[in-house]
Amino acid sequence: MSETVRLISAREKEAILLKGCMDGKRQAQNELYSQFSPKMFHVCLRYSKSREEAEDTLVEGFMKVFDHLKQFKNEGSLEGWIRRIMVNTAIEKYRKKTPVLTAIINEERNDVFAEKHGILEELSARELIDMVQKLPAACQMVFNLYAFEGLKHKEIAEQLGIAEGTSKSNLSDARALLRKAVACSRVIAKEVQVS
């Protein structure tokens, strides 16, 4: 009697893995962590000032993932759901560190940014992460939520508990600081080439 080998779809494989995690099986939890931690570490790194802070956020985020796995409804991708948890964990850490934002509110500021001079196009991922990590905390958080998560200023303001104008101001400041950093890195690169 011959047995037919049945191929397991990626969705079924994911369901088995999630069930194992919810049942508290260490092997399943390790597999889920191994599968998603590299990508999620890069997400955490963008919201952190150092690798150590990113690692802390990653660990806290995965603890929340395992605690709330039963809430995952398979309505979107598991990776997207985990990513949202990581971003929310970073936001929570930011709020704890920064109970009162010191950003200056400037409602009259014009937030026009010429995309043809966009900084994202000119940098490698590593260079961008390094530069974003050096931004003041409020600017870093707003820039990440706007540029990487695609949130609008109204959504950012609601999540961070700030005025919409503050979000716009922080984004404008972040862009200005990043442009300055890009200009400095170009000057340094040219000096290195000359010498």
Helix H segments across the chain? Answer: 10-22, 26-46, 51-67, 78-97, 125-133, 137-143, 153-160, 164-194
pLDDT single digits (tens) 34-69:
999 999 999 999 999 889 999 999 999 999 999 999
Res 135: pLDDT: 92
Return d(Cα 102, Cα 3) in angstroms, integer: 68
**Is the distance from CB of 58 to CB of 47 less than 8 angstroms?**
no
pLDDT band at 130 (very low <50, low <70, confident <90, very high): confident
**Is the distance from CB of 47 to CB of 98 less than 8 angstroms?**
no
Return d(Cα 187, Cα 51) in angstroms, integer: 27
Res 85: pLDDT: 95
pLDDT single digits (tens) 161-175:
899 999 999 999 999
State whether residue 108 is helix, strand or coil.
Answer: coil
